[in-house]
Amino acid sequence: MTTPTALDLLFTAGRSGSGPATWGQQAIWSTLAALDPADTPRYNVAAAAPLEPGLPRAVVLAALQQLLHLHDALHTRLVAGPDGGLRQVADPAGSVPVQVVTADGADQVRAVEELHRELAGQPFDTARQWPIRVGLVEAGGLVRQMSLVLAHTAVDGTAFGTVVADLAALAGGADRAELERRRSGTRQPLAEAEEQAGERARRRDRAAREQFLRKLRLGPPRQFPAAPAAGAPFPNAVLSSPALGVAVDAVAARHRVSSSSVLLAATAATTARLAGRSEAVLLVVVNNRFLPGLAEAVSTVSNQVLLHLPAATGEFGELVRRTQGAALAAYRHGYYDRRQLVRQIDQLAATGVPLADRSCVFNDTRDLLPAELAAEAAAPVLPDRGRTVLEWPGEFAPRPGLSYALDVLPGTEALRLAMTANPAVLPRPAMERFLYGIEELVVTEARRP
């Protein structure tokens, strides 16, 4: 493997402009700004994959140039003002850093893993840098492996999937103008911000924030017993379960709900049981892709809603059905200005009013719409739960105000649950019980006659 060669991919004649940041850009930027800088790279949205049977470097670089013309978010910077407000600046020209290494045979996989780890492990300076980095591994004069790393302030998981699909299409010879024509109704970030300034969006924003504040008065002020302030690193656990992947679809089909609602119900039930309560309150990330103009938008449009589920420890099938209705009602109020909501919450807290716990976070990162329902299916053949694997990839810096964050991750052969938790609230043995408890709940329901 050769030493990486640094290239600058030049970009010119792009769309340009500036304006207020979108609600999604502001929300993610504020979240990252509150973290330890060393912790922010884990929020990068990234993937490494082979290019088979290989492409000339010129073809790959040309496709990347066309990709930047297609999606303004990839050449947009976010600049903070003195008042804490954020502005987006779409640059008409600039360059993207590209790292190229040469490796033969089996070394190609190791080379792209090392390159990807380096590129994904660096934070983005969103005020000075474009939110994209690229790594290429060449062999025999062709690009065989590629690493693509984007800042979360530019894309969420669904948008990243769109970027990857468009890059593959452009590298395969697709016409950029045709791709733009197909998405003529899709908003670029500046257009989305302009839409958010309109009265219709402001009415939706006000209604969503009012709904959030109402729910804040319903849930318990503390989900888990009081814990010491976060000091020790937060462990990260990943459960990979082939059985859960099959079972969750079977349960979703049985109850005519989305697979995300099944996992959300299992998370709520497990939270309530471990906390010794009958109810659960969760902060749920919703992708907002069901709104007009945002289905294929390359931007970050996800936000958070508060979900309160009373009687969360009752019969699981009934809880699954109830969760679907509660989740859909909450998702309708997921598009709002979080910066304004935070101000209102601070004002409300200053009055001494008890507010619901917001320390338990659920995020289904799979490419699903909230209302997507599973198809009817025959009785499932569940893989052996003995194939389930629990790993501890590492630890993260403490996050004040967090009990746990649970992410549902896509996988080809297994469903993966990634959990980061405050060890003062949920030590490692409790995290194990939590993750295996979700699996047991769903698999048991799938096996029920």
DSSP 37-61: GGGGGGG-EEEEEEEEEEE-HHHHH
Q: What is the pLDDT of residues 175-221, one digit of tens each?
A: 999 999 998 889 999 999 999 999 999 999 999 999 999 999 988 99
At residue 1, the pLDDT reads 67
What is the band of 244 on the pLDDT scale with cuts at 50, 70, 90?
Answer: very high
Q: Is the pLDDT of residue 173 over 80?
A: yes
At residue 378, the pLDDT reads 55
The Cβ of residue 107 has, within 10 Å, a number of other Cβ atoms equal to 14
At residue 367, the pLDDT reads 64
- Residue for token digits 């005020």? 127
Per-residue pLDDT, averaged over 333-339, amounts to 94
Per-residue pLDDT, averaged over 406-423, amounts to 92
Residue 439 contacts by C-beta under 8 Å, 6 or more apart in sequence? Answer: 239, 241, 243, 244, 247, 385, 388
At residue 2, the pLDDT reads 73
Q: Is the pLDDT of residue 373 over 70?
A: no
Order of strands across the sheet that contains 45-55: 5-11, 94-102, 132-139, 142-150, 45-55
Nearest to 204 by CA among 292, 328, 334, 308: 334
At residue 372, the pLDDT reads 46
Counted residue by residue, the chain has a size of 449
Phi, psi dihedral angles at 188 (to 5 degrees): -80, 160
Q: Is the pLDDT of residue 143 over 80?
A: yes
Q: Is the pLDDT of residue 35 over 90?
A: no
Question: What are the structural domains, with CATH classification, of the chain?
Answer: 5-195 (3.30.559.10), 217-447 (3.30.559.30)
Q: Is the pLDDT of residue 448 over 80?
A: yes
Q: Residue 261 class from Cβ within 10 Å (0-12 exposed, 13-18 middle, 19+ buried)?
A: buried
